[in-house]
């Protein structure tokens, strides 16, 4: 019916990214709110994720089999999980060291 009306089904990659928080909460609730899905390549099945801190990245690597094994999103097959480096925290005025004046 969708084809007859010229409609396109949503891309699996968009579904994986949109549902990642729910998937993560079900598979590894301790990581919820600390990991963000960045990109999904439907051809290779690679999901790129970014943790908020290195410790969450390590925990995510240990939890990867729970996230990769079941087909959690219809039409999407996540085969590998690529954990990116956590983003560095920018130093603000309160944490930046003051340079001595010459």
- Record the pTM: 0.66
Looking at residues 74-96, what average pLDDT do you find?
Answer: 68
List, for residues 61-82, the tens digit of each pLDDT value. 998 888 776 655 555 678 888 9
- Domain residue limits, the chain: 12-83
| pLDDT of amino acid 34 | 92
Residue 90 scores a pLDDT above 60: no
Looking at residues 75-102, what average pLDDT do you find?
Answer: 65
List, for residues 12-42, the tens digit of each pLDDT value. 446 788 888 888 888 889 998 899 999 988 8
SS (H, E, C) the chain: CCCCCCCCCCCHHHHHHHHHHHHHHHHCHHHCCCEEEEEEECCCCEEEEEECCHHHHHHHHHHHHHHHCCCCECCECCCEEEECCCCCCCCCCCCCCCCCCC
């Amino acid at each position: 019916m969708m084809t007859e009306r010229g409609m396109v089904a949503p891309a699996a990659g968009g579904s994986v990214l949109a549902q990642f928080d729910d998937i993560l909460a079900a598979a590894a609730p301790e990581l919820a709110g600390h990991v963000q899905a960045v990109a999904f390549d439907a051809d290779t099945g690679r999901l790129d994720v970014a943790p908020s801190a290195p410790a969450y990245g390590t925990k995510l690597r240990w939890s990867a089999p729970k996230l990769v094994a079941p087909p959690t999103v219809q039409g999407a097959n996540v085969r590998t999980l690529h954990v990116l480096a956590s983003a560095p925290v920018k130093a603000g005025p309160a944490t930046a060291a003051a340079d001595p004046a010459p």
